[in-house]
Amino acid sequence: MTAATAAPVPYGPTLERWLQRLANEDRSHRTLEAYRADLDDTMIDVAAAAGALADRAALAALGPVERAAAVRDALAGFDLRQVTLDDLDGALAAFRTRPDPRYTRNPTEAPRARAANTVARRAAAIRSFFAWCEDTGRLPDDPARKLRSPRRPRRLPRTMSDAAAEQLFDGAATGSRWPERDALIVALGLACGLRLEEIATLRLDNLVGDPAAPDRILVRGKGGKERSLGVPALVADALAAYLPTRRVRLDRLGLDARTLVVSTRPRPLVDPAGREIGRTVDASKETVAYVVDRVLRGLGVRQRGTRVHGLRHTFAAIGLREGALNLRELQEALGHASLSTTEIYTHVTDEAVAEGMRHHPLGRRRGTPTQ
């Protein structure tokens, strides 16, 4: 069968099969939804360029229900064989300069173009999808193979000073309704370098050995990858203080919890259909973020971009700088798939070296040698 007479490759079912493949690889639900949103939004521009869908201006004039139906119907059967590199380049350029909907209420604050990292993530999703279409024989050629994305700026991670990091744990109890729990949350971020979601989803049975004095902590990170961490004294002490209060709280509420960290108030537990089937005090990401934000604000060290991930960055930068972990060990502790991701923390160390050189006694001499 020639390319001209080959069966159409409808976007809708093809996208679902690709997402199903990624789900089988244990990609997170959040990752799958991000891929779906990126590709659906891209294909709106591609389909409009092919005349299969109205342009965005015409779509904007429709009501929300009509607009969603028009997009769904047009994309479901759109033939992916029609897609060209120029179509994808045009869609990516339009996305880069299109006003960000998050600034609808304050359009004057919207940046002139989306961040390079945001555009690069979308380009990566597009390339991954079309490469899979070619690899599985759905398309004879990959139109996204030569799709280029902007160079991502290499930004230094935001870290806290040593003094602020030392104050943070003691500050967790100040003004807290549950000081033992809040101290544990801060300890897991600052002394173990756990991500926000990792703290929220850590289970009691992830503590290997006696929970009050565990030998190891098993952490399930991005992509379902599990890593085994040692238990720093700071975390061990926090666990010993917290676990008895956890049991008392749960007994008082008449509930149990799967997560190590629990919320102070029960919330509805719903099934996939949205029906309420009980109550839960399992931790949420919002709970963890709120606690860390409160502690940082209380100490006056809250900065833009410095929340739970700021604790993780601080753990990494100080651990590497003080020689507690080498680069390869730090990669394992943080759960990074690539060593290049971990290497950004070497630049924090470089900054410390640069600062020291600026204050070197011989570097402070003034004047030039005389002849």
CA distance 318 to 172: 20
CATH code assigned at 276: 1.10.443.10
pLDDT digits (tens, 9 = 90+) for 283-298: 999 999 999 988 888 7
Known catalytic residue: 347? no
For residues 331 and 342, the answer to whether their CB atoms sit within 8 Å is yes
pLDDT digits (tens, 9 = 90+) for 318-340: 888 888 899 999 999 999 888 88
> What residues does 279 pair with on adjacent strands?
268
Q: For residue 134, give Cα distances in angstroms to 81, 89, 100, 225.
A: 11, 19, 32, 28
pLDDT digits (tens, 9 = 90+) for 4-18: 447 899 999 999 999
144 belongs to a structural domain: no
Q: How many domains does the chain have?
A: 2
Q: Tell me which of 11, 35, 242, 345 is the catalytic residue.
A: 345
Q: Are residues 258 and 201 in the same domain?
A: yes
Domain span at 122: 11-135
Known catalytic residue: 195? yes
Q: Are residues 67 and 188 in the same domain?
A: no
5 belongs to a structural domain: no
Q: Are residues 120 and 247 in the same domain?
A: no
Q: Are residues 116 and 197 in the same domain?
A: no
Q: Is the pLDDT of residue 3 over 50?
A: no
* Amino acid 75: pLDDT: 95
* Amino acid 367: pLDDT: 54
CA distance 283 to 187: 16
Closest alpha carbon to 159 in 54, 331, 316 = 316
Q: Are residues 92 and 166 in the same domain?
A: no
Q: Tell me which of 127, 246, 307, 336 is the catalytic residue.
A: 336
Token readout for 291 is 């606690």
114 belongs to a structural domain: yes
Q: Are residues 28 and 173 in the same domain?
A: no
Q: Tell me which of 122, 246, 307, 312 is the catalytic residue.
A: 312
Range 113-120 contact pairs with CB under 8 angstroms and sequence separation of 24 or more: 116/149, 116/150, 116/151, 116/152, 116/153, 117/152, 117/153, 119/92, 119/95, 119/149, 119/150, 120/149, 120/150, 120/152
94 belongs to a structural domain: yes
130 belongs to a structural domain: yes
Task: Tell me which DSSP letter residue 155 carries.
Answer: P
Q: Are residues 214 and 170 in the same domain?
A: yes
CA dihedral 204, 218, 33, 308 (to 10 degrees): 80
For residues 79 and 10, the answer to whether their CB atoms sit within 8 Å is yes
For residues 200 and 288, the answer to whether their CB atoms sit within 8 Å is yes
Known catalytic residue: 225? no
For residues 250 and 256, the answer to whether their CB atoms sit within 8 Å is yes
Neighbours of 369 (CB within 10 A): 4
317 belongs to a structural domain: yes
pLDDT digits (tens, 9 = 90+) for 106-160: 666 556 678 888 899 999 999 999 999 999 999 999 999 999 988 776 666 777 7
Longest dimension (CA), the chain: 88
Known catalytic residue: 304? no
Q: Tell me which of 222, 285, 294, 302 is the catalytic residue.
A: 222
Known catalytic residue: 309? yes
3-state secondary structure of 142: coil
Known catalytic residue: 336? yes
Q: Tell me which of 56, 158, 220, 309 is the catalytic residue.
A: 309
3-state secondary structure of 282: strand
Q: Are residues 295 and 198 in the same domain?
A: yes
Q: Is the pLDDT of residue 306 over 80?
A: no
Q: Are residues 42 and 105 in the same domain?
A: yes
For residues 33 and 41, the answer to whether their CB atoms sit within 8 Å is no
365 belongs to a structural domain: no
* Amino acid 179: pLDDT: 92
Q: For residue 140, give Cα distances in angstroms to 44, 90, 135, 137.
A: 22, 22, 9, 6
Q: Tell me which of 195, 249, 307, 313 is the catalytic residue.
A: 195
Q: Are residues 79 and 205 in the same domain?
A: no
* Amino acid 153: pLDDT: 66
